[in-house]
């Protein structure tokens, strides 16, 4: 599976732990960091900054383009901790039925909050759906032109996809919103154990354990 992980320049440990949590289950996946800094340098991303909550708020929609409009690929925010192999989510997917699969979080959890590093978390329809997307890149035409110039609503509300299917919430268990027993993936959406004030969240010890493993000298 091709997996693109959103990369936050201020907190590279987010990406490292997310990647390592996947590799606990399989090293067969091709995992790539989605770094806005590099996409700007390559002339792929030029959207003006408008106070978005993360470095990958819009770059995530470049995945079909970056995957050469071939095959399927998974995008996931960097503030995830996987507790199961992402390959297992394919058991919930019918690749003939939908172009994109996400966890369709209910509208009731889209209240405005302050996210990590004090950035404003603005409410909008389909909030958090794009934090984990399994995308049929073969069927997509979205690319740099759309990502750099189209309205945020076009991107985040999935106007670029013909059909959006549902994944079980276990694949995007948002801390502070859900309390799923033994979730497959934990999402520290408002801030995680790497930030002051978020050290005691559920699954924080597990996140730190993975972080400790990747810090050990080989």
C-beta of residue 83 within 8 angstroms of C-beta of residue 182:
yes
How far apart, in whole angstroms, are the C-alpha atoms of residue 147 and residue 100? 17
Cβ atoms < 10 Å from Cβ of 146: 18
C-alpha separations of 177 from 13, 88, 111, 117, 183 in Å:
23, 23, 11, 19, 13
pLDDT number for residue 124: 63
C-beta of residue 125 within 8 angstroms of C-beta of residue 102:
no
Is pLDDT at 179 greater than 80 in this prediction?
yes
Residue holding tokens 């013909």?
162
32, 28, 40: which is closest to 15 by C-alpha?
A: 32
| Dihedral pair phi/psi, residue 185, rounded to 5° | -150, 135
| pLDDT-based confidence at residue 118 (cuts at 50, 70, 90) | low
Is pLDDT at 108 greater than 90 in this prediction?
no
pLDDT number for residue 132: 98
| pLDDT-based confidence at residue 122 (cuts at 50, 70, 90) | low
pLDDT average, residue stretch 30-37? 97
What's the chain's Rg over C-alpha atoms?
16
Q: Which residues, other chains included, contact 173 with Cβ-Cβ below 8 Å and sequence gap of 6+?
A: 180, 183, 184, 185, 186, 187
How far apart, in whole angstroms, are the C-alpha atoms of residue 45 and residue 179? 36
Count of domains in the chain? 1
CATH of the domain at 131: 3.90.550.10
Domain around 67: 2-215
pLDDT number for residue 15: 97
Is pLDDT at 114 greater than 60 in this prediction?
no
pLDDT digits (tens, 9 = 90+) for 137-164: 999 999 999 999 999 999 999 999 999 9
Q: Is residue 122 helix, strand or coil? A: coil
């Amino acid at each position: 599976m091709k997996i693109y992980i959103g990369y936050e320049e201020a907190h590279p440990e987010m990406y490292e732990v997310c990647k390592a949590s996947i590799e606990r289950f399989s090293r067969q996946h091709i995992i790539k960091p989605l770094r806005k800094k590099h996409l700007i340098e390559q002339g792929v991303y030029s959207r003006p900054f408008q106070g978005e909550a993360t470095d990958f708020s819009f770059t995530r929609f470049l995945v079909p383009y970056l995957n050469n409009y071939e095959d399927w690929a998974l995008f996931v925010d960097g503030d995830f901790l996987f507790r199961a192999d992402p390959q297992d989510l394919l058991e919930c997917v019918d690749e003939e039925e939908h172009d994109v699969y996400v966890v369709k979080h209910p509208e009731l959890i889209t209240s405005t909050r302050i996210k990590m590093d004090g950035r404003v978390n603005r409410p909008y329809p389909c909030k958090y759906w794009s934090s984990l997307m399994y995308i049929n890149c073969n069927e997509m035409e979205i690319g740099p032109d759309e990502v750099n110039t189209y309205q945020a609503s076009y991107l985040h509300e999935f106007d670029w996809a013909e059909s959006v299917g549902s994944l079980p919430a276990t694949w995007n268990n948002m801390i502070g919103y859900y309390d799923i027993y033994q979730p497959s993936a934990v999402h520290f959406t408002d801030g995680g154990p790497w930030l002051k004030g978020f050290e005691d969240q559920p699954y924080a010890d597990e996140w730190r354990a993975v972080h400790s493993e990747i810090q050990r000298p080989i």
